[in-house]
Amino acid sequence: MIRIPCPFCGTRDHSEFTYGGDGTIEYPALDAPKEDWHDAVFLRDNVCGMQLETWHHVHGCRMWLLVERDTLTHEIHSVRPAHPGLAAMFETDQEAGE
């Protein structure tokens, strides 16, 4: 079992989450050329090693998270909210706390 430290709920079993996928994909603008959409939808780096990926805490707070995980060892390096605003809030909280 992978244990994921959710910033909102604490450390939980991965079975509470749904794996989203590669977190580095940037979806192009809606009117971008179809080649750009092809690449974003169909092509993957498929990293063996540290990967940035999305997880949904679907049986918890229901927040989307960005997780850095090693795809070979399953070691988790970092977890932060996927929403950039919330992630920034967390960072300021941490700095204020230090």
**Contacting residues toward Zn ion, per CB under 5 A:** 6, 8-9, 57, 60-61
Question: How many angstroms separate the CA atoms of 17 and 12, rounded?
Answer: 9
Using CB under 8 A as the binding rule, whether residue 75 contacts other proteins is answered as no
80 contacts other proteins (rule: CB under 8 A):
no
Q: Does 26 bind other proteins (CB under 8 A)?
A: no
- 3-class SS of residue 90: helix
Nearest-angstrom CA–CA distance, 44 and 73: 20
* Contact flag: residue 53 with other proteins (CB under 8 A): yes
CB of 94 to other proteins, least distance (A): 27
Q: How far is the CB of 93 from Zn ion (least distance, A)?
A: 16
Tell me the C-alpha distance between 26 and 59, whole Å.
Answer: 26
